[in-house]
Amino acid sequence: MARKEHTIFLAFDVPAAVEENYVFGVWRLFAQSVYLTRKKLAPLKIATRHYAALAVLASSNHSATQSTLVQVMGLSPNVVLAMVDYLDGLGYTKRVQNPRNRRENIVLLSKKGRTAYDQAIVLLREVEQELLAPLTGEQCQQCVEIVKKLGSSAPPTRDLAIDF
Q: Which residues contact 95 (CB under 8 A, 6 or more apart)?
A: 66, 84, 88, 105, 106, 107, 108
| Cα(57)–Cα(80) distance, integer angstroms | 13
pLDDT 10s digits, 13-62: 777 777 778 788 888 888 889 899 999 999 999 999 999 999 999 999 89
Report d(CA 101, CA 67) in Å as an integer.
12
Output the CA–CA distances (angstroms, integers) from residue 77 to 65, 69, 83, 84, 98, in the order listed: 11, 9, 10, 10, 17
d(CA 51, CA 90): 13
Alpha helices in the chain (DSSP H): 16-19, 22-41, 48-58, 66-73, 77-90, 111-132, 137-153
- Asked if 31 contacts 25 with a C-beta cutoff of 8 angstroms, the reply is no
Domain map (residue ranges) of the chain: 11-126
Looking at domain 11-126, its CATH class is mainly alpha
User: 87-127: per-residue pLDDT in tens?
Assistant: 999 999 999 998 888 889 999 999 999 999 999 999 999 99
pLDDT band at 70 (very low <50, low <70, confident <90, very high): very high
| Residue closest to 48 by CA, chosen among 105, 121, 115, 108 | 121
